[in-house]
Chains A and B, each alone.
Chain A
Amino acid sequence: MDARRESEPTPMKNRTTVERKTERELVTTRTFNGPARIVFEAWTKPELFKRWWVPKSMGMSLLSCEMDVRVGGKYRLVFAHEASESTFFGSYLEVTPHSRLVWTNEESDDGPVTTVTFEEKGGKTLLVMRELYPSKEALDAAGTGAADAMVETFAQLDELLVTLGASVGRS
């Protein structure tokens, strides 16, 4: 019954969707071809979590990963990117085995509360991750941080132009 059917095409990759549901909330969904208890395990056991949280394309590595997955328990992730390190930490607010995880992101005051639900149907698991930010501004800042950085770049360019303008004016 479980014999492998080599001739079958590889099943289509499940789609990841991300949507800004409200001014404060970002919702990501994805289906996994496995039961909820396995997907949940991969989110809650550090040795498994470490294997997927930092894909190679991120250009980062995970230096350490501590997770005390129980209500009130803390987690701490340390990433290395080129010469710098960044730490992400918070605590678990809700832990319902195989179905629901809620944690805080406390590295910044504007960090979201993340809720992940695992819903099993026919041996597959629909994962929904909701990130609820404290304000619209906090989500905007997380999202358009790149755009803000650009405004900052322009400000620097401004200064340069003033300098250049001054030297042109003198000639």
Chain B
Amino acid sequence: MVQYTRTRFDASFAALSDATRRGVLEQLGRADASITDLADRFQMTLTGMKKHVGVLELAGLVTTEKVGRVRTCKLGPRRLEEEAAWIDRYRQLWDARFDELDKVVEELEQKEKVDGRKKRK
């Protein structure tokens, strides 16, 4: 896990080491936005915002799509990967819990059999 984080750390370093770009990611975490929206929000020229978005895009943190004259930005595949990684960790936790629960269930069932109780339907 440390290794995984470090690789990511290196790869995203340039992109995330800028306060505006972190702000853009936070913003896109709430909702997709056009470059114009982002430029307005961060009080920046369109060219300046395009540059920031370009850096985030290169790092895989943001994807953009141009529809008509508007370029919409959203969180990129790396964010999705993070979600998948989190869900997987969450699954592992529950899997470990349920393995223990299996033992409890098995034990209770054995006990019932020993007690000679009939199964209720």
Contacts and interface: CB of A to CB of B under 8 A. Distances in A.
A17 B88 CA distance: 9
Given A150-B5, A161-B17, A55 B99 contact: yes
A34 B108 CA distance: 9
Contacts of B42: none
A28 B102 contact: no
Given A33-B105, A38-B109, A154-B17, A143 B83 contact: yes
Nearest to B88: A18
B105 A151 contact: no
A3 to B, nearest CB: 12
Nearest to A35: B119
Q: Which of B17, B99, B101 has the most CB of A within 10 A?
A: B101
A95 B108 CA distance: 21
B100 A151 contact: no
Interface residues of A, number: 42
**Chain B binding site: helix, strand, loop or mixed by DSSP?**
helix
Interface string B93-116: 111111111111110110011000
Given A143-B86, A146-B82, A151 B95 contact: no
Contacts of A54: 97
Given A13-B99, A154-B17, A154-B22, A18 B91 contact: yes
9 contacts: A16-B94, A32-B98, A35-B119, A55-B93, A150-B8, A151-B16, A151-B25, A154-B16, A155-B19
Interface of B: 5, 8-9, 12-13, 16-17, 19, 22, 25-26, 29-30, 79, 82-83, 86-88, 90-91, 93-106, 108-109, 112-113, 119-120
A-B pairs with the 9 shortest C-beta distances?
A52-B100, A55-B96, A34-B105, A18-B91, A52-B101, A16-B95, A154-B16, A147-B82, A143-B86
Interface of A: 2, 13-14, 16-20, 26, 28, 30, 32-35, 37-39, 41-42, 48, 51-55, 57-58, 137, 140, 143-147, 150-151, 154-155, 157-158, 161
